[in-house]
Chain A
Amino acid sequence: MSTSSRPIQPLSPTSAASPALRALVNLRWGLLLAVVLLALIGLATIQSATAEMATGFLARQVFWVGLGLLLLLLVMAVDYRVLMDLSVALYAIGLAGLVLVLMVGQMRGGARSWLGIGSLGGQPSELMKLAVVLALAKYLSRTDQPFLGLKEIAVGGAIVSVPMLLTAVEPDLGGAMMFLPILGGMILVAGIRAKTLLALLVIGALAGAGLYFFGLKDYQRQRVLTFLEPGADLQGSGYQVHQSKIAVGSGQLTGRGYRQGTQSQLRFLPERHTDFIFAVLAEEWGFLGVAGVLGLYLLYFINAAAIAARARDRAGILLVAGLLSLFAAHVLYNTAMVIGLVPITGIPLPFLSYGGSFALVNFLTAGIILSVDLRRHVNR
Protein backbone atom coordinates (compact mmCIF):
# COMPACT_ATOMS: atom_id res chain seq x y z
CA MET A 1 0.00 0.00 0.00
CA SER A 2 2.90 2.31 0.69
CA THR A 3 4.16 1.91 -2.86
CA SER A 4 0.91 3.12 -4.31
CA SER A 5 0.71 6.12 -2.04
CA ARG A 6 4.03 7.47 -3.27
CA PRO A 7 4.64 9.04 -6.66
CA ILE A 8 7.14 6.64 -8.07
CA GLN A 9 7.52 6.49 -11.79
CA PRO A 10 8.86 3.35 -13.34
CA LEU A 11 12.45 3.54 -14.53
CA SER A 12 12.54 3.85 -18.26
CA PRO A 13 15.62 2.34 -19.92
CA THR A 14 16.01 5.26 -22.30
CA SER A 15 16.01 8.02 -19.72
CA ALA A 16 17.94 6.02 -17.10
CA ALA A 17 21.21 5.40 -18.94
CA SER A 18 22.74 8.83 -18.89
CA PRO A 19 21.37 10.10 -15.53
CA ALA A 20 22.44 6.84 -13.85
CA LEU A 21 25.97 7.28 -15.16
CA ARG A 22 25.93 10.90 -14.10
CA ALA A 23 24.74 9.88 -10.67
CA LEU A 24 27.60 7.43 -10.38
CA VAL A 25 30.22 9.93 -11.46
CA ASN A 26 28.92 12.61 -9.14
CA LEU A 27 28.39 10.26 -6.26
CA ARG A 28 29.56 11.50 -2.85
CA TRP A 29 32.74 9.48 -3.16
CA GLY A 30 34.08 11.23 -0.03
CA LEU A 31 31.93 8.91 2.07
CA LEU A 32 33.44 5.83 0.49
CA LEU A 33 36.92 7.31 0.86
CA ALA A 34 36.31 7.85 4.56
CA VAL A 35 35.01 4.30 4.93
CA VAL A 36 38.00 2.71 3.18
CA LEU A 37 40.59 4.81 5.02
CA LEU A 38 38.94 4.18 8.39
CA ALA A 39 38.78 0.46 7.70
CA LEU A 40 42.49 0.38 6.82
CA ILE A 41 43.42 2.38 9.91
CA GLY A 42 41.26 -0.03 11.86
CA LEU A 43 43.15 -3.04 10.53
CA ALA A 44 46.51 -1.48 11.35
CA THR A 45 45.41 -0.60 14.85
CA ILE A 46 43.95 -4.05 15.47
CA GLN A 47 47.26 -5.52 14.36
CA SER A 48 49.07 -3.41 16.95
CA ALA A 49 46.55 -4.02 19.70
CA THR A 50 46.56 -7.79 19.25
CA ALA A 51 50.27 -8.24 18.59
CA GLU A 52 50.65 -10.01 21.93
CA MET A 53 47.69 -12.29 21.39
CA ALA A 54 48.09 -15.68 19.87
CA THR A 55 45.15 -15.99 17.51
CA GLY A 56 44.77 -14.23 14.19
CA PHE A 57 42.55 -11.29 14.93
CA LEU A 58 43.93 -9.39 11.96
CA ALA A 59 43.22 -12.17 9.47
CA ARG A 60 39.65 -12.50 10.67
CA GLN A 61 39.08 -8.75 10.54
CA VAL A 62 40.56 -8.60 7.03
CA PHE A 63 37.95 -11.17 6.07
CA TRP A 64 35.16 -9.10 7.62
CA VAL A 65 36.36 -5.92 5.94
CA GLY A 66 36.55 -7.67 2.57
CA LEU A 67 33.10 -9.12 3.03
CA GLY A 68 31.85 -5.73 4.20
CA LEU A 69 33.14 -3.92 1.12
CA LEU A 70 31.49 -6.54 -1.06
CA LEU A 71 28.18 -6.11 0.75
CA LEU A 72 28.55 -2.33 0.51
CA LEU A 73 28.77 -2.50 -3.27
CA LEU A 74 25.96 -5.02 -3.39
CA VAL A 75 23.62 -2.89 -1.28
CA MET A 76 24.57 0.17 -3.29
CA ALA A 77 23.31 -1.57 -6.37
CA VAL A 78 19.96 -2.32 -4.75
CA ASP A 79 17.38 0.45 -4.73
CA TYR A 80 16.89 1.57 -1.16
CA ARG A 81 13.15 1.54 -1.74
CA VAL A 82 13.37 -2.17 -2.32
CA LEU A 83 15.13 -2.47 1.00
CA MET A 84 12.42 -0.42 2.68
CA ASP A 85 9.79 -2.61 1.16
CA LEU A 86 11.63 -5.54 2.71
CA SER A 87 11.87 -3.74 6.04
CA VAL A 88 8.84 -5.43 7.61
CA ALA A 89 10.27 -8.84 6.76
CA LEU A 90 13.76 -7.81 7.92
CA TYR A 91 12.32 -6.45 11.15
CA ALA A 92 10.48 -9.73 11.78
CA ILE A 93 13.59 -11.78 11.03
CA GLY A 94 15.59 -9.51 13.35
CA LEU A 95 13.10 -9.96 16.17
CA ALA A 96 13.21 -13.71 15.66
CA GLY A 97 16.98 -13.52 15.89
CA LEU A 98 16.81 -11.54 19.12
CA VAL A 99 14.44 -14.05 20.67
CA LEU A 100 16.55 -16.95 19.44
CA VAL A 101 19.73 -15.46 20.87
CA LEU A 102 18.09 -15.23 24.27
CA MET A 103 17.40 -18.96 24.14
CA VAL A 104 20.42 -20.47 22.40
CA GLY A 105 22.87 -17.59 22.07
CA GLN A 106 26.44 -17.70 23.34
CA MET A 107 27.82 -15.54 26.07
CA ARG A 108 29.97 -12.70 24.81
CA GLY A 109 31.27 -10.11 27.25
CA GLY A 110 28.81 -11.02 29.97
CA ALA A 111 25.76 -11.00 27.70
CA ARG A 112 23.94 -13.73 25.82
CA SER A 113 24.25 -11.80 22.59
CA TRP A 114 25.98 -13.94 20.01
CA LEU A 115 24.36 -16.31 17.56
CA GLY A 116 26.20 -18.65 15.26
CA ILE A 117 27.88 -21.93 14.53
CA GLY A 118 31.56 -22.21 15.24
CA SER A 119 33.24 -18.90 14.64
CA LEU A 120 30.71 -17.96 12.00
CA GLY A 121 27.96 -15.78 13.34
CA GLY A 122 27.23 -12.47 14.86
CA GLN A 123 25.12 -10.34 17.11
CA PRO A 124 21.50 -10.12 15.89
CA SER A 125 21.12 -6.81 17.73
CA GLU A 126 23.62 -5.16 15.39
CA LEU A 127 21.76 -6.13 12.23
CA MET A 128 18.46 -5.35 13.95
CA LYS A 129 19.45 -1.72 14.15
CA LEU A 130 19.54 -1.52 10.37
CA ALA A 131 16.12 -3.17 10.14
CA VAL A 132 14.80 -0.62 12.65
CA VAL A 133 16.16 2.30 10.58
CA LEU A 134 14.57 0.88 7.44
CA ALA A 135 11.26 0.25 9.17
CA LEU A 136 11.19 3.68 10.77
CA ALA A 137 12.09 5.39 7.51
CA LYS A 138 9.30 3.57 5.78
CA TYR A 139 6.78 4.34 8.50
CA LEU A 140 7.71 8.00 9.08
CA SER A 141 7.82 8.83 5.39
CA ARG A 142 4.13 8.05 5.10
CA THR A 143 2.97 11.22 6.82
CA ASP A 144 2.47 14.39 4.83
CA GLN A 145 2.55 16.78 7.80
CA PRO A 146 5.39 19.22 8.57
CA PHE A 147 5.60 17.79 12.10
CA LEU A 148 5.08 14.33 13.46
CA GLY A 149 1.95 13.72 15.42
CA LEU A 150 1.74 11.91 18.72
CA LYS A 151 0.57 8.77 16.97
CA GLU A 152 3.62 8.65 14.70
CA ILE A 153 5.91 9.21 17.64
CA ALA A 154 4.20 6.50 19.64
CA VAL A 155 4.33 3.96 16.81
CA GLY A 156 7.94 4.92 16.03
CA GLY A 157 8.75 4.48 19.68
CA ALA A 158 7.17 1.06 19.66
CA ILE A 159 9.14 0.00 16.57
CA VAL A 160 12.34 0.91 18.44
CA SER A 161 11.33 -0.28 21.91
CA VAL A 162 10.67 -3.95 21.17
CA PRO A 163 14.16 -4.83 19.85
CA MET A 164 15.70 -2.43 22.33
CA LEU A 165 14.13 -4.23 25.28
CA LEU A 166 15.08 -7.61 23.87
CA THR A 167 18.68 -6.44 23.60
CA ALA A 168 18.59 -4.98 27.10
CA VAL A 169 17.62 -8.30 28.66
CA GLU A 170 20.58 -10.12 27.07
CA PRO A 171 21.79 -8.03 28.96
CA ASP A 172 23.59 -5.67 26.61
CA LEU A 173 22.64 -2.27 27.92
CA GLY A 174 25.10 -0.36 25.76
CA GLY A 175 23.86 -2.06 22.62
CA ALA A 176 20.25 -1.38 23.65
CA MET A 177 21.02 2.25 24.28
CA MET A 178 22.18 2.68 20.69
CA PHE A 179 18.62 2.21 19.42
CA LEU A 180 17.69 5.56 20.92
CA PRO A 181 19.75 7.87 18.68
CA ILE A 182 18.12 6.23 15.65
CA LEU A 183 14.71 7.29 16.87
CA GLY A 184 15.96 10.67 18.12
CA GLY A 185 17.73 11.61 14.89
CA MET A 186 14.86 10.52 12.65
CA ILE A 187 12.21 12.28 14.78
CA LEU A 188 14.25 15.49 14.73
CA VAL A 189 14.60 15.37 10.96
CA ALA A 190 11.00 14.32 10.36
CA GLY A 191 9.93 17.23 12.52
CA ILE A 192 8.64 17.54 16.04
CA ARG A 193 6.93 20.38 17.87
CA ALA A 194 8.94 22.02 20.65
CA LYS A 195 6.41 21.19 23.38
CA THR A 196 6.25 17.56 22.26
CA LEU A 197 10.02 17.36 22.36
CA LEU A 198 10.06 18.87 25.84
CA ALA A 199 7.45 16.38 27.05
CA LEU A 200 9.48 13.52 25.55
CA LEU A 201 12.63 14.73 27.29
CA VAL A 202 10.85 14.86 30.67
CA ILE A 203 9.46 11.37 30.15
CA GLY A 204 12.91 10.19 29.07
CA ALA A 205 14.55 11.67 32.18
CA LEU A 206 11.99 9.99 34.44
CA ALA A 207 12.43 6.70 32.60
CA GLY A 208 16.22 7.04 32.92
CA ALA A 209 15.98 7.59 36.68
CA GLY A 210 13.63 4.63 37.01
CA LEU A 211 16.01 2.51 34.99
CA TYR A 212 18.99 3.52 37.14
CA PHE A 213 17.29 2.57 40.38
CA PHE A 214 15.30 -0.48 39.30
CA GLY A 215 16.57 -1.65 35.96
CA LEU A 216 20.36 -1.69 36.41
CA LYS A 217 22.45 -4.46 37.84
CA ASP A 218 24.96 -3.58 40.56
CA TYR A 219 27.96 -3.62 38.27
CA GLN A 220 26.18 -1.30 35.87
CA ARG A 221 25.26 1.11 38.64
CA GLN A 222 28.91 0.92 39.75
CA ARG A 223 30.00 2.02 36.29
CA VAL A 224 27.77 5.05 36.46
CA LEU A 225 29.10 5.91 39.91
CA THR A 226 32.64 5.40 38.69
CA PHE A 227 31.95 7.76 35.86
CA LEU A 228 30.73 10.39 38.29
CA GLU A 229 33.79 9.95 40.54
CA PRO A 230 36.54 8.26 38.54
CA GLY A 231 39.26 8.32 41.21
CA ALA A 232 37.23 6.41 43.78
CA ASP A 233 37.81 2.90 42.53
CA LEU A 234 41.08 2.65 40.65
CA GLN A 235 41.48 -1.08 41.14
CA GLY A 236 37.93 -1.91 40.10
CA SER A 237 35.82 -0.33 37.44
CA GLY A 238 37.75 2.97 37.55
CA TYR A 239 40.79 1.03 36.37
CA GLN A 240 39.72 0.91 32.76
CA VAL A 241 39.09 4.63 32.45
CA HIS A 242 42.27 5.40 34.34
CA GLN A 243 44.42 3.19 32.12
CA SER A 244 42.66 4.42 29.01
CA LYS A 245 43.25 8.07 29.88
CA ILE A 246 46.90 7.32 30.61
CA ALA A 247 47.16 5.68 27.20
CA VAL A 248 45.49 8.58 25.40
CA GLY A 249 47.32 11.29 27.33
CA SER A 250 50.74 9.70 27.02
CA GLY A 251 50.38 9.82 23.25
CA GLN A 252 50.81 13.58 23.44
CA LEU A 253 51.09 15.31 20.05
CA THR A 254 52.85 12.78 17.85
CA GLY A 255 52.30 9.53 19.71
CA ARG A 256 54.68 6.88 20.91
CA GLY A 257 54.95 5.24 17.52
CA TYR A 258 53.17 2.35 15.90
CA ARG A 259 53.29 -0.70 18.18
CA GLN A 260 55.31 1.32 20.69
CA GLY A 261 52.49 2.23 23.06
CA THR A 262 53.39 0.88 26.46
CA GLN A 263 49.83 0.97 27.72
CA SER A 264 48.62 -1.13 24.81
CA GLN A 265 51.61 -3.39 24.25
CA LEU A 266 52.02 -4.17 27.94
CA ARG A 267 48.33 -4.91 28.37
CA PHE A 268 47.52 -2.17 30.83
CA LEU A 269 44.73 -1.18 28.50
CA PRO A 270 41.64 -3.35 28.76
CA GLU A 271 39.54 -4.36 25.72
CA ARG A 272 42.19 -2.73 23.60
CA HIS A 273 41.20 -4.30 20.28
CA THR A 274 37.49 -3.71 20.73
CA ASP A 275 35.95 -0.94 22.84
CA PHE A 276 39.23 0.81 23.68
CA ILE A 277 40.89 0.62 20.29
CA PHE A 278 40.75 4.39 19.96
CA ALA A 279 42.97 4.66 23.06
CA VAL A 280 45.53 2.46 21.31
CA LEU A 281 45.41 4.73 18.30
CA ALA A 282 45.64 7.83 20.49
CA GLU A 283 48.62 6.43 22.37
CA GLU A 284 50.57 5.35 19.33
CA TRP A 285 49.70 8.18 16.92
CA GLY A 286 49.13 11.03 19.34
CA PHE A 287 46.78 13.92 18.85
CA LEU A 288 47.69 14.06 15.19
CA GLY A 289 46.33 10.55 14.72
CA VAL A 290 43.24 11.37 16.77
CA ALA A 291 42.56 14.50 14.76
CA GLY A 292 43.10 12.61 11.52
CA VAL A 293 40.62 9.88 12.41
CA LEU A 294 38.07 12.34 13.79
CA GLY A 295 38.54 14.26 10.55
CA LEU A 296 37.64 11.13 8.57
CA TYR A 297 34.50 10.73 10.67
CA LEU A 298 33.69 14.38 10.00
CA LEU A 299 34.15 13.69 6.30
CA TYR A 300 31.67 10.84 6.66
CA PHE A 301 29.16 13.06 8.54
CA ILE A 302 29.37 15.86 5.99
CA ASN A 303 28.96 13.53 3.03
CA ALA A 304 26.08 11.66 4.62
CA ALA A 305 24.30 14.94 5.40
CA ALA A 306 24.90 16.15 1.86
CA ILE A 307 23.41 12.92 0.54
CA ALA A 308 20.39 13.43 2.77
CA ALA A 309 20.11 16.98 1.50
CA ARG A 310 19.89 15.88 -2.09
CA ALA A 311 17.95 12.66 -1.64
CA ARG A 312 15.09 12.32 -3.99
CA ASP A 313 12.33 11.69 -1.45
CA ARG A 314 11.29 11.96 2.17
CA ALA A 315 12.07 8.31 2.79
CA GLY A 316 15.62 8.73 1.49
CA ILE A 317 16.23 11.74 3.71
CA LEU A 318 14.90 9.96 6.77
CA LEU A 319 16.82 6.81 5.95
CA VAL A 320 20.13 8.65 5.69
CA ALA A 321 19.32 10.70 8.80
CA GLY A 322 18.64 7.54 10.80
CA LEU A 323 21.78 5.80 9.56
CA LEU A 324 23.91 8.87 10.21
CA SER A 325 22.47 9.16 13.72
CA LEU A 326 23.25 5.52 14.45
CA PHE A 327 26.75 5.81 13.05
CA ALA A 328 27.54 9.12 14.74
CA ALA A 329 26.21 7.93 18.10
CA HIS A 330 28.72 5.07 18.09
CA VAL A 331 31.57 7.35 17.08
CA LEU A 332 30.79 10.06 19.62
CA TYR A 333 30.01 7.75 22.51
CA ASN A 334 33.03 5.51 22.02
CA THR A 335 35.56 8.30 21.66
CA ALA A 336 34.07 10.17 24.60
CA MET A 337 34.25 6.95 26.62
CA VAL A 338 37.99 6.41 26.17
CA ILE A 339 38.73 9.75 27.78
CA GLY A 340 36.21 9.25 30.54
CA LEU A 341 33.59 11.74 29.40
CA VAL A 342 30.79 9.16 29.56
CA PRO A 343 30.35 5.93 31.53
CA ILE A 344 31.99 2.82 30.17
CA THR A 345 29.70 0.50 28.28
CA GLY A 346 30.35 -1.88 25.46
CA ILE A 347 29.95 0.40 22.48
CA PRO A 348 32.49 -0.21 19.71
CA LEU A 349 33.97 2.33 17.32
CA PRO A 350 32.81 1.96 13.70
CA PHE A 351 35.46 0.64 11.28
CA LEU A 352 38.14 0.55 14.01
CA SER A 353 36.94 -1.89 16.64
CA TYR A 354 37.44 -5.58 16.07
CA GLY A 355 34.20 -7.48 15.48
CA GLY A 356 32.44 -9.19 12.60
CA SER A 357 28.76 -8.31 12.66
CA PHE A 358 29.48 -4.78 13.79
CA ALA A 359 31.85 -4.28 10.86
CA LEU A 360 29.24 -5.65 8.44
CA VAL A 361 26.60 -3.29 9.85
CA ASN A 362 28.88 -0.32 9.26
CA PHE A 363 29.63 -1.30 5.68
CA LEU A 364 25.94 -1.95 5.05
CA THR A 365 25.10 1.45 6.55
CA ALA A 366 27.48 3.15 4.14
CA GLY A 367 26.11 1.02 1.30
CA ILE A 368 22.52 2.07 1.97
CA ILE A 369 23.51 5.74 2.23
CA LEU A 370 25.32 5.48 -1.09
CA SER A 371 22.33 3.66 -2.56
CA VAL A 372 20.21 6.68 -1.65
CA ASP A 373 22.74 8.95 -3.33
CA LEU A 374 22.95 6.84 -6.43
CA ARG A 375 19.21 7.25 -6.95
CA ARG A 376 18.96 10.94 -6.18
CA HIS A 377 18.02 11.99 -9.72
CA VAL A 378 15.55 9.27 -10.35
CA ASN A 379 12.15 10.73 -10.96
CA ARG A 380 13.20 14.19 -9.85
Chain B
Amino acid sequence: MLHPQVAVRPEPFGALLYHFGTRKLSFLKNRTIVEVVNSLPDHPDVRSACRAAGIDDDQLAPYLHAFGVLVTSKMLVAKENQ
Protein backbone atom coordinates (compact mmCIF):
# COMPACT_ATOMS: atom_id res chain seq x y z
CA MET B 1 0.00 0.00 0.00
CA LEU B 2 0.96 3.66 -0.28
CA HIS B 3 3.02 5.04 2.57
CA PRO B 4 0.67 7.09 4.78
CA GLN B 5 2.78 10.20 4.14
CA VAL B 6 2.39 9.91 0.36
CA ALA B 7 -0.11 12.08 -1.50
CA VAL B 8 -1.41 11.21 -4.97
CA ARG B 9 -2.31 13.99 -7.37
CA PRO B 10 -4.15 12.88 -10.52
CA GLU B 11 -2.74 14.30 -13.76
CA PRO B 12 -3.75 13.88 -17.41
CA PHE B 13 -0.75 11.56 -17.93
CA GLY B 14 -1.28 9.54 -14.76
CA ALA B 15 -0.42 10.94 -11.36
CA LEU B 16 2.19 12.68 -9.27
CA LEU B 17 3.24 11.08 -6.01
CA TYR B 18 4.78 13.18 -3.28
CA HIS B 19 6.26 11.76 -0.11
CA PHE B 20 6.04 14.35 2.65
CA GLY B 21 8.60 12.44 4.70
CA THR B 22 11.38 11.97 2.15
CA ARG B 23 10.34 15.06 0.05
CA LYS B 24 10.63 12.89 -3.03
CA LEU B 25 8.46 13.26 -6.09
CA SER B 26 7.58 10.37 -8.39
CA PHE B 27 5.58 10.13 -11.56
CA LEU B 28 3.07 7.46 -12.41
CA LYS B 29 3.29 7.67 -16.14
CA ASN B 30 0.02 6.12 -17.16
CA ARG B 31 -3.47 5.72 -15.76
CA THR B 32 -3.29 1.94 -15.47
CA ILE B 33 -0.52 2.08 -12.91
CA VAL B 34 -2.48 4.73 -10.98
CA GLU B 35 -5.42 2.34 -10.88
CA VAL B 36 -3.18 -0.47 -9.66
CA VAL B 37 -1.60 1.69 -6.94
CA ASN B 38 -5.01 2.76 -5.68
CA SER B 39 -6.29 -0.82 -5.65
CA LEU B 40 -3.29 -2.32 -3.82
CA PRO B 41 -5.01 -2.49 -0.39
CA ASP B 42 -7.70 -4.76 -1.91
CA HIS B 43 -5.23 -7.34 -3.15
CA PRO B 44 -2.84 -9.76 -1.48
CA ASP B 45 0.04 -8.79 -3.80
CA VAL B 46 1.08 -6.62 -6.70
CA ARG B 47 0.65 -9.38 -9.27
CA SER B 48 -3.00 -9.93 -8.50
CA ALA B 49 -3.65 -6.18 -8.41
CA CYS B 50 -2.10 -5.92 -11.88
CA ARG B 51 -4.17 -8.83 -13.19
CA ALA B 52 -7.35 -7.28 -11.80
CA ALA B 53 -6.49 -4.08 -13.69
CA GLY B 54 -6.35 -6.08 -16.93
CA ILE B 55 -2.57 -6.23 -17.32
CA ASP B 56 -1.64 -9.44 -19.12
CA ASP B 57 1.23 -11.52 -17.80
CA ASP B 58 3.38 -10.68 -20.83
CA GLN B 59 3.02 -6.96 -20.05
CA LEU B 60 3.74 -7.38 -16.37
CA ALA B 61 7.53 -6.86 -16.31
CA PRO B 62 7.64 -3.04 -16.60
CA TYR B 63 4.95 -2.74 -13.93
CA LEU B 64 6.80 -5.01 -11.52
CA HIS B 65 9.94 -2.99 -12.16
CA ALA B 66 8.04 0.24 -11.46
CA PHE B 67 6.67 -1.13 -8.20
CA GLY B 68 10.17 -2.19 -7.21
CA VAL B 69 11.31 1.41 -7.69
CA LEU B 70 8.39 2.69 -5.62
CA VAL B 71 9.21 0.26 -2.80
CA THR B 72 12.89 1.27 -2.84
CA SER B 73 11.92 4.94 -2.58
CA LYS B 74 9.51 4.10 0.29
CA MET B 75 6.50 5.33 -1.66
CA LEU B 76 5.00 1.88 -1.14
CA VAL B 77 5.20 -0.10 2.10
CA ALA B 78 3.95 -3.50 3.14
CA LYS B 79 0.57 -3.51 4.86
CA GLU B 80 1.75 -5.27 8.01
CA ASN B 81 4.08 -2.34 8.72
CA GLN B 82 1.12 -0.11 9.37
Question: Is chain B a partner of chain A in the same complex?
Answer: no
Q: Which residues of B contact A (CB under 8 A)?
A: none
Q: Which residues of A contact B (CB under 8 A)?
A: none
